[in-house]
Structures are given as C-alpha cells and as structure tokens.
Structure 1
Amino acid sequence: MMSEKNRLHWITAVIELLKTLKEAIIPLVVVVVANGIGRERTGNFWMDNLTLLIFGAFVIFTSVAGFIKWKRFVYWFEDGEFRIEYGLFVKKKRYIPFERIQSVDYTEGILHRPFGLVKVKIETAGNSSTLEGADADLTAVTREEAERVSEVISEAKRRCRAGVQEPPEIDGKAGGILSAGEPEEETKTLFRMGRKEIFLLATFSGRIGLIFSGIAIFLSQFSDILPYEAIYDELVAFIRFGVFMVVAAVLALMLAGWVLSVAWTYLGFYGFTVSFDGDDLFISRGLLEKKRVTVPLKRIQAVRVSENPFQKLLGYVSVKVHSAGGSVQEGGSAIGLFPLVSKREVNRLLAELFPEIETSAELNRIPERSRPFYYRLDFFWVIPLVAAAGYFLFPYGLLSLLIVPVIILLGLWQHRSAGWAITGRQLTVRWREFTLHTVYVFRKRVQSMQERQTIFQRRRNVATVTASFKSGIMPSKAPIRHIDVADADGLMDWYDPRYRADKHAAVEGTPAPQGE
C-alpha cells in the first residue's frame, strides 16, 4: 500500500545554502578580498562593486536552488520500496527496495538540534561504486519521522530474513506499520567511552598536524596579497630578541595547536556509544553535531586491534572493523568500533559482539633467518641520503648516521612482534609498522591470498603471503612477511586446497586436476 508523500523540513533550504557557501568559501573570499580591497574607485558603480555583486548573485542563486530542492523533494513508501522524487526542470525518481537497504544513519547538526530535526542517510550495498554517496539523503526531518522511516525499513528487513515475501502493510496516511511481524530485538549498549578515554584519545590523536596544514593551505590562498616582505622583516627583528624568545613562541604556537586538536577531538567523540540489536551495530558520537552510524554485522569482513607505544604504556588499544559497505565519498576506510578501550576489556567486548572470533590463539613466530629482511631494504634507501648529508652538510650532516641504528632497531622490533595463526576457519595476522596491528578474519571473508617470493627470499627459503579482504570500496591487506616456505604453502592450501595441486602440476608439466 502506498503511504502519503512527505516533504522535508523548510530548514533544508537554509542548510543547502550554507553547505554550498562552505564548499565555496575559499574561492569566494579570495575573489572578494583580492578584487575588492585596496582598489582605486573609478566612479563607475558596477565596476567598483563588481565583486560584491558577484557574491550577492551567487548567494541568491544558491538560495533559490536550496528552496527548489526543499519544495520539489518528496519521499514515500510503496510496493516494498522507499521512493524519492526531486528536481524542477529534470525530474528524477529513485526507487530503493527495502531488502537492499544496508544502513540508516542519523546526523544532528547545529541547525538541526534547535528544531528537533535529524538528517537521515540511507545506504545500500550497491552504492559503494557510485560517486553520489548515499542512495537517499533526507536533509532535515523530525526525530519521530526518522524513527518511523527506520521502523518501516527494519520491519521489512526482518520479514525478508524470515522468508515472508509480502512487504509490511503500511498506513496510507501516517505511513506507519499496520501489521508487525516478529518483535524487534532490544538494543543493548555494549560500550560507552568515558571522559578520561576521550581526553586521552584527543591528546594523542595527531590532529595538530591537520590543524597546521589547514592553516597553511588557507594562507596560501592569499599569497598574492599578503605582505611577505614586511612579515619577513618583523620576523628577523623578533629573532634578534634571542633564542629563548623564539623557542617560547614556537612552544606557545604548538600548545595552541594542541589545545585546538584536543577540543576538536573531544567535541567529535563526546558521548561515544556502541550498541547492537543482534543484526546491526549502532555507533553514536558528537556534542555539537551528533551522529549515529548503522553497521550491519553481516557486512563486517574483519576486525583490527591496534596498539601504539603510547597506548601500550597506558594499557589501552583501539579497535576497528572493516565493513563491505561505504561510498566513494567516504573513502571506504575502516570504522572505529572502540577508538580507545582498556586492554583488559577488549577481549570480553569482542567475545560478546563476535562470539565466533578466537582472540587467544597462540601465534606462530617469524623464523630467525628472516630478521635481516625487516631492515635491509630501508637500510639501503637511507645510506645514499646519509652520505649526501655528511658530504654537503659536514660536519653536522654526520649526525644523520644516527638514523642507521634506529632503522635497524625498528626492523628487529617489527620482526619480534610479527606472527600468525590458523584456528579452524579463522586467520589471525599480527604485524608492526610503528603501531602493532592484529587482524582477525575468516576464510570466507578473504577476497584473495597471494604468495610472493623474491630471489633473496629464495636463498633463505622464506616467502611473503598477503591476505586481502574488502574494506569499504577498497581492499585492505594483512601481510605475513618472510615466513617459512612450507608455512606459506600451508596458508595457501588452507585458503584454497586446489593451490597445491596447481603448483605441483606446474612443476611437473601435467594438467592440474579439476577442483570443485
């Protein structure tokens, strides 16, 4: 049955206007400032106010576009589908079957919260290859309406899993469900990040680099109008005050960047909560802008536990899940499940959420003869740089020799930390970059597994195996570097028993037997 056609809230027009202005703020500011400040007045009204007129025309055009989107955008439920219709001169329609919808995500922005509104984003498994992001965006609807949309979609998915072909009966006026199927499972809160963990995460998040790079990019837009000579003269005069003043200024600048980084991360992860209902994960976070992301459990491909030295010192780890969902705009990166969680609690939380995962498997270590491979390549790359620095910057350039033992020690550390294990259908891989990563992935989730052996590895009778699994729109890899050839063949045989037959056939020159 067809439900009544619904419209978005009128604040949609304002949000679209501000969104377009935000995306075009830098070029607009550059045009207005570069052409409107310091220019001599010609007496011609149009020429003297050209940039302001352009800016005003842009705002008016954007406002009209936002109004049209609000006025022409409608959505409704009909014949087991979520349908939307929009556009003025070119009318577009999109029909999304309930069973194809993977997630319904909520976002509460600064403009949403005073009016009790949310933004609803509906995604399917097929939108990961498109450039349009979500399949459907309801820019601004009431919380009650968002819950109604989620309820209708959830009920339809439950009926589909139960084998019921007919879509749920919908009230034509209110759009609600008339006949409910199985009772909905209660949502259980699994994890809630405390203020201490949020502060620690903000402290070591590394966003200070993003802040300084953003400031540099912003200032680069005004390179033609900034008085660099005057700034340089002032900087030289300031340096003359002494090294102490320069160091104090640098430290003050870094402190300000750190404070901004902490505030940014704290606001973004405030109220971080993970809950689930047996079929989906719900991740909520944010203070000024609240977000709720839905992750279907059946779409999760692998679980990654990471631990950097700072987290290890404090007894924390971070956990991400790799999902097969996601859009091109989002980049398909892993989803932060537990951004910072106590190491004592992580196994219990994972066991409750993924009871089939074995987190206590004993890992096979990397052979001792593989140790040089972990630092040899980096060592060869660094030697020319060290030689050049020592020659052209002598004698201070000789300090670059200190990099060599650091690289060797890092390689030894990586060799000692690496390991792997097979427990039934599960593959566990551990490796270290600077951060220690442990990935748990099941055989049916592995997209491909590759064995590679170089000339140098052949001399030591070792090989490298790489397991690839889907993570958003891009594959993610778990490397098992420089292990014994017999172990590498065993891994390949575990993934596909036909591998050994194909390999033997290639060596003997006979056709490989046909597998399943």
Structure 2
Amino acid sequence: MSEKNRLHWVTAVIELLKTLKEAIIPLVVVVVANGIGRERSGNFWLDNLTLLIFGAFIIFTTVAGYIKWKRFVYWFEDGELRIEHGLFVKKKRYIPFERIQSVDYTEGVLHRPFGLVKVKIETAGNSSVLEGSEADLTAVTCEEADRVSAVISEAKRRRRTGAQEVPEGGGEGIGALPDEPEEEAKTLFRMGRKEIFLLATFSGRIGIIFSGIAIFLSQFSDILPYEAIYDEVVAFIRFGVFMVTAAVLALMLIGWVLSVAWTYLGFYGFTVSFDGDDLFISRGLLEKKRVTVPLKRIQAVRVSENPFQKMLGYVSVKVHSAGGNAKEGGAAIGLFPLVRKREVNGMLAELFPGIDTSAELNRIPERSRPFYYRLDFFWVLPLVAAAGYFLFPYGLLALLIIPVIILAGLWQHRSAGWAVTGRQLTVRWREFTLHTVYVFRKRVQSMQERQTIFQKRRNVATVTASFKSGVMPSKAPIRHIDEADADRLMDWYDPGSRMRETGAVGGTPASGGE
C-alpha cells in the first residue's frame, strides 16, 4: 500500500468551478459595473479591460486546478495516511490511522457521470471553526474510496483487537480485507416523500431564500434603477389592497415552492443506518452525501417538537457530536429530521441501548412561575409606554403584548421538567419549540448552579449542564428548580458524592446504564 496514488483528472475541473463559485458575485459586479453604458474610447485594451481581467482569472484558476491535481498524491505507509501536494511549496501531511474518526463520502453532479466520489477524512483533533476536514480526496473512484475505507477500518480493528501486522511479503498486509466479515450496516430509518414535504413546510427556509435574493440584489445596488422601481411599486399599490395581497401571497407561494424543491433535493433518500460502531447518514439527489459518525463521539441526544409538528404527531431528533468542525456543521447532526413521535423512542433505544426515554420528569415548583415571564417586562414595559404615549390612541394596542408574555411564560413553566435515572440526565425546556435532551453523566463537561437574590427568596435555583457539541459547548438549562433539588443534582454530578452510588435524585429511582 506504499504505492503513491493520484486523484481523478476531474479534480482539476472541480477546483476550477469551486473557485468560480466563490468569486462569481464579485466578478459579475466588476464586469457589469464597468462594461454597461460605458463609452468606447477606441483603445482595445482599455475598452476590454474587465473582460481581459475576467479571462486572465479563468486561465489562472484553470492552471492552479491542474497543478493541484498533478501534484497531489496519497499513499498508506507505517500505519498512516500520507498526503503530499504543492508546487513551489511542497506540503506533506501524515495522519495516523488511530486518529481518524470518520470517512465521509460526497457524490456531486460532476462525480456521478464518472462513477467518482469525494472522500473527507475527519480526525479527533480536527475541531477548528475555520478548518475544513483533515484531508480531502476530491475525486476518486468508488472502488478506490471503498479501498481507503477498508484500509482504515482494518487498521483500527487490528489496533482494537491487538492483532499484529504481518511484514510485507509474509502474508496479508495492512491493506488486506479483515479476516472476519464486518458487521453489515442495519437500516434504522428512511425518510419518505411525505416527511420531506412536511419538513420543507416546517423548516423555515422560505426566509433564507428571500434573504439570499436580497443579498444577491444588494451586490448590484449601484446599477439598479431604484427610482424607477419605486415609481412602479407606488403605481402598483394604487390598484388596491386586493392586488397587493395577491402579489404578496404569490411571492410567498413561490418561496414555498422553492423551499420544497430545495429541501427535496437535499433530503431525498435520507437514510440512517449503523453497524454497532458507526452511524451512517446518507442523503441527496443531485449531490449525494454519506456522513459517518462514530457512536462513541455522540455526547447527547436532543428531541425537538414545535407546535406544528405536535399537531401532526412528528418530532425531530439531533445528536450532538464531539469533534468535527463548525464549517461542516459537525456539532449538531440531524439524525431524524422528521419522524413519527410514536416511533422515535424505539429507534433511539435500538441505537443507544442504555438510553431511557420514558423517565417520569420532575416538574418545576409552582412558586417559580413568575420567573418565567417577569424578566421580559424590563424591556417590554418601556416599549409599551412609549407606543401608548407617542402613538395614542392606537399605541395602546401594545398593551396586548403583556398578556401574551405572561401566557408564554406560563406555557414554558408548564412544559419544563427534569429527571435523573441512574447515570442519565434528562432535561426538558421550551422556547417556542419544546426541547428534550438526554445526556449521560460521563458526557457532561460541567454543571453549574446559579442563584440570584430573587431566587434565594423563593428557595429556587438554576442548574445548567454543559456538554461538548462540536467545537463549542451546548447547554441544557434546568431553570428555577427547588434549591434542595439543585444541590442534589450537583451532588449527583460530583465524583466524590455518595449520590453517585445511589443514583437517586428528587425521588427518581436509579436505573438504566451508560
């Protein structure tokens, strides 16, 4: 396996298109702004300066992509994946097999006609916000990608089992297939078209689409005829409320259709499978992706349910993974973007045998109700008073915000809860969406108890459990619980506490496993 391998020649084309994609808006702005309505001077070089710059950029990018493909080689040697690239500055990267956490596949539009995939290598130390994956094999054949994955899996299996490598020429090498057949991945969840359609409706991507259009148009602010557009809009408004309403609804319909199309292309064929050690998530129609998540890296499970999902009996599930990188969204991974609520507990139990999703939650004390809404009055009351004074009498309608805030606070208080079962902490809280987090004690990075002077008067406190989620910690708040329960939770987390042996907090019996 010490033979050096090259990427497919499609790599040069992909690098060219990638660079053009990142620079397309500045290039279009430069060409359009300097080429439209400009008087010709008769000087060829001056009149075509922007086009010449654009052409030079294309040529430079093409040459750079070709050089990257030609100078990029990789091979396996001494238990490492080794990569060498660069023309004037030669760079080498050696990645030990034991550091490799996952091997992910991406099959883009340019990959599929040639039977190619992009392979991303993720390592335990690859956690920078600005970094991408540890190593990218931009375009290799599917057979080569499977061979790379097999080499890495075999090396890690040998290390786990303590098997010795056989020298070259003396039997099977590091690149040979395993002696024992690997456990086949079992399909756990497959997302149907109905769920994709509903996900597009709930996802809120309509706002992202309109924001993207606005950002794109803002790049041409110097050449857009805003005065003419304004006059046209004013003339259109004169047609009446009905026409304006119809136009707004038409725009919302177009945004919704684009959102559905975007979601459908991104989540088509969404499948979750696992083989006991790793979790595999595959999705995509035009661009197929397969993400590998080691189960040992998963820190917590989050089940979310907004009111619209609740009416239809659906929830969404994410897992928080340690490591990865924020650029690739490696922190919170969508495990089940939309799944039937009655099915989720069974699938989680199959994937995480030690998890307890049926624990009876301890409720928040009744005396804690005011804490869920009265802090909002500090910023709402001045706004309400200002609206009532300056916009009288219509500004008095702002008073309706106060009962809305109170009802929202009571709703959050009623929804919140927590439980400890053995070595597992369950936390539930509501923003607009109801969140339930399941995390084991060994995955909790820190636990903090906080008590203000107002909470002390009511004998309540807030406990916050933090666990690793990608490069940043994620928090599960247990707000305004009884002071004694807060102290017991801190004792449960304390390694030297006897509560670790009993595993009972707040009257919840110990059970489950880690």
Alignment pair present for 1:156 and 2:155: yes
Alignment pair present for 1:445 and 2:471: no
User: Aligned in 2, Cα 1:433/1:169: closer, same or farther, shift over 3 Å?
Assistant: farther
Count, aligned residues:
499
User: Aligned in 2, Cα 1:171/1:123: closer, same or farther, shift over 3 Å?
Assistant: farther
- 3-state DSSP of counterpart to 1:335: strand
Alignment pair present for 1:463 and 2:461: yes
User: Aligned in 2, Cα 1:170/1:24: closer, same or farther, shift over 3 Å?
Assistant: farther
User: Aligned in 2, Cα 1:81/1:168: closer, same or farther, shift over 3 Å?
Assistant: farther
- For the Cα contact (< 8 Å) 1:208–1:257, is it kept in 2? yes
- 3-state DSSP of counterpart to 2:136: strand
User: Aligned in 2, Cα 1:166/1:188: closer, same or farther, shift over 3 Å?
Assistant: same
For residues 61 and 352 of structure 2, the distance between their equivalents in structure 1, rounded to whole angstroms, comes to 47
One-letter code aligned to 1:476: S
- 3-state DSSP of counterpart to 1:288: coil
For residues 182 and 153 of structure 1, the distance between their equivalents in structure 2, rounded to whole angstroms, comes to 15
2:224 aligned residue: 226
Q: Residue 168 of structure 1: CA displacement?
A: 9.3
Deviations 1:196-226 (A, max 9, x none): 1111111111000000010111111111111
Q: Residue 175 of structure 1: CA displacement?
A: 8.9
1:49 aligned residue: 48
Deviates most, 406-415 or 492-501: 492-501
User: Aligned in 2, Cα 1:183/1:169: closer, same or farther, shift over 3 Å?
Assistant: farther
1:506 aligned residue: none
For residues 172 and 495 of structure 2, the distance between their equivalents in structure 1, rounded to whole angstroms, comes to 57
Alignment of 1:200-211 (within 5 A): 200-211=198-209
Instruction: Specify which of 258, 282, 286 is matched with residue 284 of structure 1.
Output: 282
- 3-state DSSP of counterpart to 1:216: helix
User: Aligned in 2, Cα 1:172/1:18: closer, same or farther, shift over 3 Å?
Assistant: farther
Deviations 1:318-353 (A, max 9, x none): 110000021142254300000001011000000100
- 3-state DSSP of counterpart to 2:378: helix
User: Aligned in 2, Cα 1:92/1:104: closer, same or farther, shift over 3 Å?
Assistant: same
1:509 aligned residue: none
2:270 aligned residue: 272
Q: Residue 386 of structure 1: CA displacement?
A: 1.3
For residues 175 and 256 of structure 2, the distance between their equivalents in structure 1, rounded to whole angstroms, comes to 49
For residues 253 and 168 of structure 1, the distance between their equivalents in structure 2, rounded to whole angstroms, comes to 67
- 3-state DSSP of counterpart to 1:186: coil
- 3-state DSSP of counterpart to 2:323: coil
2:64 aligned residue: 65
1:356 aligned residue: 354
Alignment of 1:250-261 (within 5 A): 250-261=248-259
- For the Cα contact (< 8 Å) 2:323–2:470, is it kept in 1? yes
Deviations 1:18-65 (A, max 9, x none): 000100111111111111111111111111111111111111111111
Q: Residue 497 of structure 1: CA displacement?
A: 4.8
2:509 aligned residue: none
- 3-state DSSP of counterpart to 2:34: helix
One-letter code aligned to 1:109: G
For residues 321 and 285 of structure 1, the distance between their equivalents in structure 2, rounded to whole angstroms, comes to 17
For residues 112 and 83 of structure 1, the distance between their equivalents in structure 2, rounded to whole angstroms, comes to 23
1:145 aligned residue: 144
For residues 169 and 446 of structure 2, the distance between their equivalents in structure 1, rounded to whole angstroms, comes to 44
Deviations 1:448-499 (A, max 9, x none): 0000001110111100000000000010000000001100000000001558
Deviations 1:90-129 (A, max 9, x none): 0001111111100000001111111111000001010113
Alignment of 1:119-268 (within 5 A): 119-129=118-128, 131-164=130-163, 166=165, 176-177=175-176, 180-268=178-266
For residues 196 and 394 of structure 1, the distance between their equivalents in structure 2, rounded to whole angstroms, comes to 49
2:422 aligned residue: 424
- 3-state DSSP of counterpart to 1:384: helix
2:14 aligned residue: 15
User: Aligned in 2, Cα 1:173/1:276: closer, same or farther, shift over 3 Å?
Assistant: closer
- For the Cα contact (< 8 Å) 1:309–1:435, is it kept in 2? yes
- For the Cα contact (< 8 Å) 2:132–2:328, is it kept in 1? yes
- 3-state DSSP of counterpart to 1:481: strand
Q: TM-score, normalised by structure 2?
A: 0.94
One-letter code aligned to 2:462: T
For residues 405 and 121 of structure 1, the distance between their equivalents in structure 2, rounded to whole angstroms, comes to 52
User: Aligned in 2, Cα 1:33/1:342: closer, same or farther, shift over 3 Å?
Assistant: same
- 3-state DSSP of counterpart to 1:89: coil
For residues 215 and 398 of structure 1, the distance between their equivalents in structure 2, rounded to whole angstroms, comes to 36
- For the Cα contact (< 8 Å) 1:156–1:167, is it kept in 2? no
Over aligned residues, Cα RMSD in angstroms? 1.9
User: Aligned in 2, Cα 1:31/1:476: closer, same or farther, shift over 3 Å?
Assistant: same
For residues 204 and 129 of structure 2, the distance between their equivalents in structure 1, rounded to whole angstroms, comes to 31
One-letter code aligned to 1:481: R
For residues 442 and 400 of structure 2, the distance between their equivalents in structure 1, rounded to whole angstroms, comes to 46
2:507 aligned residue: none
2:297 aligned residue: 299
One-letter code aligned to 2:352: F
User: Aligned in 2, Cα 1:117/1:171: closer, same or farther, shift over 3 Å?
Assistant: farther
- The gaps in structure 1 that reach 5 residues or longer are 502-516
One-letter code aligned to 1:375: Y
Deviations 1:167-207 (A, max 9, x none): 897999999416x3433111111110111111111111100
- For the Cα contact (< 8 Å) 2:323–2:331, is it kept in 1? no
- 3-state DSSP of counterpart to 2:327: coil
Alignment pair present for 1:114 and 2:113: yes
For residues 317 and 231 of structure 1, the distance between their equivalents in structure 2, rounded to whole angstroms, comes to 44
User: Aligned in 2, Cα 1:285/1:194: closer, same or farther, shift over 3 Å?
Assistant: same
One-letter code aligned to 1:39: R
For residues 169 and 492 of structure 1, the distance between their equivalents in structure 2, rounded to whole angstroms, comes to 55
- The gaps in structure 2 that reach 5 residues or longer are 500-514
User: Aligned in 2, Cα 1:172/1:52: closer, same or farther, shift over 3 Å?
Assistant: farther
Deviations 1:263-291 (A, max 9, x none): 10111000000000110000000001000
Q: Residue 389 of structure 1: CA displacement?
A: 1.8
Instruction: Specify which of 368, 374, 377 is matched with residue 376 of structure 1.
Output: 374
2:319 aligned residue: 321
For residues 375 and 169 of structure 2, the distance between their equivalents in structure 1, rounded to whole angstroms, comes to 64
For residues 490 and 162 of structure 2, the distance between their equivalents in structure 1, rounded to whole angstroms, comes to 37
One-letter code aligned to 1:315: G
- 3-state DSSP of counterpart to 1:128: coil
For residues 378 and 307 of structure 1, the distance between their equivalents in structure 2, rounded to whole angstroms, comes to 24
1:99 aligned residue: 98
Q: Residue 158 of structure 1: CA displacement?
A: 1.2
For residues 377 and 13 of structure 1, the distance between their equivalents in structure 2, rounded to whole angstroms, comes to 57
- For the Cα contact (< 8 Å) 2:277–2:296, is it kept in 1? yes
- 3-state DSSP of counterpart to 2:126: helix
Q: TM-score, normalised by structure 1?
A: 0.94
Deviations 1:349-381 (A, max 9, x none): 001000100110000000000000000111221
One-letter code aligned to 1:40: E
Percent identical residues: 89
For residues 49 and 149 of structure 1, the distance between their equivalents in structure 2, rounded to whole angstroms, comes to 48
One-letter code aligned to 2:295: L
User: Aligned in 2, Cα 1:88/1:332: closer, same or farther, shift over 3 Å?
Assistant: same
